[in-house]
Structure 1
Amino acid sequence: MKKIYISGKITGVPIEQARAKFAEAERILMCSGMDPVNPMKNGLPETASWKEHMVEDIEMLLDCQAILMLSCWRTSKGAKIKKAIAEQMGMEILTFKERNIDQKNSGAIRQS
Structure 2
Amino acid sequence: MKQTYISIPITGHNIDTQRRKAERIKEQIPNSISPFDIVDGTDESYGYYMGKDIEYLLDNCDTIFMCDGWEKSKGCSLEKCAADIYGLKILFENESNILGF
CA contact (8 A) 2:39 2:49 kept: no
SS at match of 1:85: helix
Cα distance in 2 for partners of 1:18, 1:26 equals 12
Q: CA RMSD in A?
A: 1.9
Compute the displacement of 1:2 (Å).
4.2
Larger helix percent: 2
**Other-structure match for 1:67:** 64
Is residue 78 of structure 1 aligned with residue 75 of structure 2?
yes
Structure whose CA Rg is larger: 1
CA contact (8 A) 1:6 1:38 kept: yes
CA contact (8 A) 2:8 2:76 kept: yes
Cα distance in 2 for partners of 1:44, 1:15 equals 11
Superposed, 1:1-20 pairs within 5 Å as: 1-20=1-20
Cα distance in 2 for partners of 1:97, 1:44 equals 27
Compute the displacement of 1:46 (Å).
2.2
Superposed, 1:1-112 pairs within 5 Å as: 1-30=1-30, 35-62=31-58, 63-97=60-94, 107-108=97-98
Stretch moving more, 35-44 or 80-89:
35-44
1:23 alignment partner AA: E
Q: Which has the higher contact order (CA 8 A, sep 6+)?
A: 2
Q: Which runs of 5+ in 2 are unaligned?
A: none
TM-score using structure 2 length? 0.87
Q: Which runs of 5+ in 1 are unaligned?
A: 99-105
Number of residue equivalences:
98
CA contact (8 A) 1:67 1:92 kept: yes
TM-score using structure 1 length? 0.79
